[in-house]
Structure 1
């Protein structure tokens, strides 16, 4: 991978990953996607990191797949036929699964355009913030494709069947404010406050009880496919695990003593 297509840094237990192809509005290539997956995987295992912040350099978060690069080297199957499904299986799907299974919170800070698979990645974060000028676009229908990179899974779960269908079939821009009003994202902030707000949120999560946060993520994600009985049992199992941590002892003591807790992820 061209290392310059991603900029990564860790400060105050927050890993900041910047998509760094601003001339293409951070269009996604196989190398960039693989590098992003490996970066998240590495930070997930790094005890010095408590949260991950993903954003884009320049005027946009991501314009989606790099169609120009794909046209130059289109994915093909063993018989030489165009195979866009292979690109999903090899590049996009592993990244989406890595994001969803990461035990640490991932925050997306969306600046400008988040289109196609770029929108999918932004919405796969645990919390998504958007600049007031940002917008989301399911552009696939305009080129004869279906939403991918998990879009058909996440959209109806976030906004319901009708709105998800409208976004996919019409391919119209959704403003950041409408995205918040629909429940698609966590919050909208003024453009100049996007990164400061996202960093503050990431630092807050990074200083929290990491063991409990990982289990919160697991419980809420499992709830999408569980019935009530199964979910109640999962809650009991995860709560049992949390109750045996030093973080719970510290949190309870801090509550009684009316002081901020000092979590150690133990």
Structure 2
């Protein structure tokens, strides 16, 4: 369903749509990562949360999926933005992660949710951190999965992953786009938990058929690299925090999760051996167990 939040249209999936009784249950807000849609949240994770008695709210970030596309912002020059970042300058972004956090807060407002457990993966973890900073009274708990503090000096993607991210499909056909995405997901995937190619291809195909808008991903990338000041603010986060990270993440290395946990007072770090930058079934099972333990320990007052 579409809702109006923070001045834009946002596509939302809410447990209440399927079962009105979820309106009385504690809410978990899931924030997805760079260029990915709400359907990228594994069904096992969503179902596991609902089975445990939680209302699950997912949404497409701005510039992805079925939410508002920020066409007026134009196509950013990613190479120039990266160079500015490396030289110590802050790239000019078409919007910020704080703007995207305001979108997430707007989703809660539109649905009448006063407080929620906020969970983000990758870029979504960064947005979740911004939500916890902006409206601490509304965040029952924070969970940051395979994400980063954004601090300068942290390690970045491996050369292989960087090449895959900066490459382009060989053509504009659906098959060319799917093959390109397959190569990227193979590069960032979990070496200890490889997904069968048929499953991975099915996931990618579903996303491409639902919505494909790569320029939106570029704008999100600039928002990420321009948000390095967030690291110095993380000490202000008051929400009980869980940080989850794979030991084999080639896109956002483990040191990024370790730095996040170090900066947030009282944060708990859970590492998953052999997990990369994706959500295969076995890591999802472990993440869900840690997440449920975390959020059930911090109910609404």
Q: Does the pair score TM above 0.5?
A: no
Under a length normalisation based on structure 1, what TM-score does the superposition of the two structures give? Answer: 0.34
Normalised by the length of structure 2, the TM-score is: 0.30
Q: Which has the higher relative contact order, 1 or 2, with Cα contacts under 8 A spaced 6 or more apart?
A: 2
Question: Rg larger in 1 or in 2?
Answer: 1
